[in-house]
């Protein structure tokens, strides 16, 4: 149970940090005026990186929502602590 709790915590933290950092960076990339301020090659790089980052944020949020790693972590942690007090 301790191993499951640690694994769920690590996955929960990784997915949440990915979603948070991507969610903070994404509006900055979207707000750039890429049509007038950048060369065509740089414009394509920014455009595709914005698209890729948005997909990563959406996927990490969807995986966390589907698997509920945060809830699993709290459940396993509660169970482990309960077993420690009873044992």
pTM of the model as a whole: 0.85
Q: What is the dihedral of CA 65, 68, 74, 75, to 10 degrees?
A: 150
pLDDT score at 87: 80
Three-class SS state of 32 = coil
pLDDT score at 36: 72
d(CA 55, CA 29): 14
Sign of the four-CA dihedral 8, 13, 14, 20: positive
Residue boundaries of the structural domains of the chain: 2-86
pLDDT tens, residue by residue, 34-85: 777 778 888 889 899 999 999 999 999 999 999 999 999 999 999 999 999 9
């Amino acid at each position: 149970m301790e191993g499951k709790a640690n694994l769920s915590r690590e996955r929960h933290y990784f997915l949440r940090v990915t979603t948070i950092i991507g969610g903070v960076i994404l509006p900055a990339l979207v707000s750039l005026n890429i049509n007038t301020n950048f060369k065509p090659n740089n414009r394509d790089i920014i455009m595709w990186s914005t698209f890729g980052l948005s997909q990563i944020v959406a996927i990490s949020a969807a995986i966390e929502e589907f698997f509920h790693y945060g809830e699993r972590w709290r459940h396993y942690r509660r169970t482990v602590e309960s077993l420690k007090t009873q044992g």
